[in-house]
Amino acid sequence: MAIIGIMDSGVGGLSVYREIRKILPGEHFIYFSDNAHCPYGEKSREYIIDRLRHITDYFIGRGAQAMVLACNTATSAAIAMLREEYEIPFVGMEPAIKPAISDTTSGTVGVLATHGTLQGDKYQTTRDKYAEGVRVLEHVGEGFVELVESGCLEGPEAEDTVKKSLKPLLDAGADRIVLGCTHYPFLLDTLRKVAAGLGHPDVVFIDPAPAVARQLAAVLKEKGIGTDPLARPETEFISSGDPAALKRTIKLI
Ligand code: DGL
């Protein structure tokens, strides 16, 4: 049985953990919500790197053999540094821009993510590599992380907030919307409702979490890190701040 650390700035990474658990049911997971420092989206790269060193040291002290950055912003800011400084394998979020670009029929795709992710080299390099002939529009999901952390996933407040960032992308003709922040899948019902209300019921939202889970399984296999389909799954949930959001969100997955 492998010990795997999964981190996010808050509860968003649970949208990745639920996919990981489906294909690796027998591992020991430690989920770390860094909610005392959430959101990461507007923080400096240095700040996020410092948090990631702290969290990685904690996981390694707990015997973790691999670590998942279930956070696009942390992946963008810190994964290259972590791979240089630590020996364990790191799996990060990949912006799902490639499937969005290959599947669009309107020729316009939208990306919702944090400021940190959209400004990062990783996202911009991937976009520039695949975007030829397709228009890629970006928007920060303003207030989305706060909605999810506070448990406000539906209703007028959630709809109004979501609409402000989604509408410009839909108005411009995007038929594929990449969810480039792991908090955003928790708003999927509201995103779909708002899109339908704006006359775009067929827009497709793309969540990279299943692909990230498959990548983790491949890395564990490649590195010979033992998995045991018959072992009893175990997950510890740790929070650097108030655990209320984590407790509330665990019930949804
Ligand atoms: N869930 C995170 C991400 O995927 C971070 C959100 C935030 O803390 O701003 O980017």
In the chain the domains, ranked by start, together with CATH numbers, are 3-93+209-250 (3.40.50.1860), 97-206 (3.40.50.1860)
Looking at residue 197, what is its pLDDT? 98
Write out pLDDT tens, residues 152-161: 999 999 999 9
Looking at residue 30, what is its pLDDT? 97
**Once rounded to an integer, what is the mean pLDDT over residues 201-216?**
97
Looking at residue 25, what is its pLDDT? 87
**CA pair distance 65, 9, nearest whole angstrom:** 21
- DSSP letter assigned to residue 93: -
Question: In 50-175, where do the E strands start and end?
Answer: 66-69, 90-91, 108-113, 135-140
CA of 208 to the centre of ligand 1 (A): 14
Cis peptide before 39 (omega within 30 of 0): yes
Picking from 198, 187, 112, 196, the residue whose alpha carbon sits closest to that of residue 155 is 187
CA of 228 to the centre of ligand 1 (A): 31
Looking at residue 230, what is its pLDDT? 62
Write out pLDDT tens, residues 157-197: 999 999 999 999 999 999 999 999 999 999 999 999 999 99
Is residue 39 classed as helix, strand or coil in its secondary structure? coil
**Once rounded to an integer, what is the mean pLDDT over residues 85-101?**
95
The rounded Cα 79 to chain-centroid distance in angstroms is 14
Looking at residue 232, what is its pLDDT? 66
* Distances in whole angstroms, Cα of residue 42 to Cα of each of 30, 77, 89, 92, 220: 26, 12, 27, 19, 32
More confident residue, 120 or 26: 120
152 is catalytic: no
38 is catalytic: no
Residue 227 has pLDDT above 80, yes or no: no
Phi then psi for residue 9, to 5 deg, are -65, -15
A 10 A CB-CB count for 251 gives 7
Taking CB atoms and a 6 Å cutoff, what residues make up the pocket around ligand 1?
8-10, 12, 38-41, 71-73, 114, 117, 145, 181-183
User: In this prediction, what percent of the chain has a pLDDT beyond 90?
Assistant: 92
**Once rounded to an integer, what is the mean pLDDT over residues 143-151?**
97
- For the CA of 40, the closest atom of ligand 1 is 8
Strand order in the sheet with 135-140: 135-140, 108-113, 176-179, 204-206
Looking at residue 109, what is its pLDDT? 98
Contact 112, 168 (CB under 8 A): no
Catalytic residue among 67, 178, 181, 246: 181
**CA pair distance 205, 98, nearest whole angstrom:** 13
pTM: 0.96
- For the CA of 181, the closest atom of ligand 1 is 4
The rounded Cα 60 to chain-centroid distance in angstroms is 22
Looking at residue 78, what is its pLDDT? 97
Catalytic residue among 68, 71, 140, 177: 71
Write out pLDDT tens, residues 9-60: 999 999 999 999 999 988 999 999 999 999 999 899 999 999 999 999 999 9
Looking at residue 104, what is its pLDDT? 97
**CA pair distance 220, 65, nearest whole angstrom:** 9
**Once rounded to an integer, what is the mean pLDDT over residues 139-149?**
98
Picking from 133, 140, 136, the residue whose alpha carbon sits closest to that of residue 176 is 136
The rounded Cα 62 to chain-centroid distance in angstroms is 23
Residue 233 has pLDDT above 90, yes or no: no
Supply the mean pLDDT for the chain. Answer: 95
- Determine which residue's CA is closest to atom 2 belonging to ligand 1: 71
**Once rounded to an integer, what is the mean pLDDT over residues 229-251?**
89
